[in-house]
Amino acid sequence: MGLLQKIEKSLARVVDPEMGMDVMRMRLVRDLKVDQHGDVELTFRPSSVLCPLGFQLGINIKEAVLDVPGVKSVQIHVDGFIHGEQLKKILEEMD
């Protein structure tokens, strides 16, 4: 199993408690890219602009990716969320 598949499997364990579905099936994670060095880039788009769980889901997504052996860094772009800039700062501080 390649690194991309391991990351997708880890992300499939991040569940939106309101919907009872994982972020991959809900398509909240998009444009997932992994380079040969283990640097990961993705876009997180919460289910709504005012998603009450946007911060927690963003943090959970980053933790799930970082937990995968072989991942060196994670850059998350936040799209379609009213507090996107705040969340992006929080996620950057997690490095």
Cα–Cα separations (whole angstroms), residue 78 to 6, 12, 20: 22, 18, 21
Residue pLDDT, tens place only, 1-32: 899 999 999 999 999 988 899 999 999 999 99
pTM of the model: 0.94
Identity at 39, one-letter amino acid code: D
Domain count across the chain: 1
Cβ of 55: how many Cβ atoms within 10 Å?
17
The CATH number of residue 67's host domain is: 3.30.300.130
Predicted local distance difference test score (pLDDT) of residue 1: 81
Predicted local distance difference test score (pLDDT) of residue 95: 73
Mean pLDDT of 34-56: 95
Mean pLDDT of 88-95: 92
Mean pLDDT of 46-51: 93
Predicted local distance difference test score (pLDDT) of residue 61: 98
Which H or E element spans position 26? Answer: none
Domain that holds residue 47: 3-93
Cβ burial, residue 34 (10 Å; 0-12/13-18/19+): buried
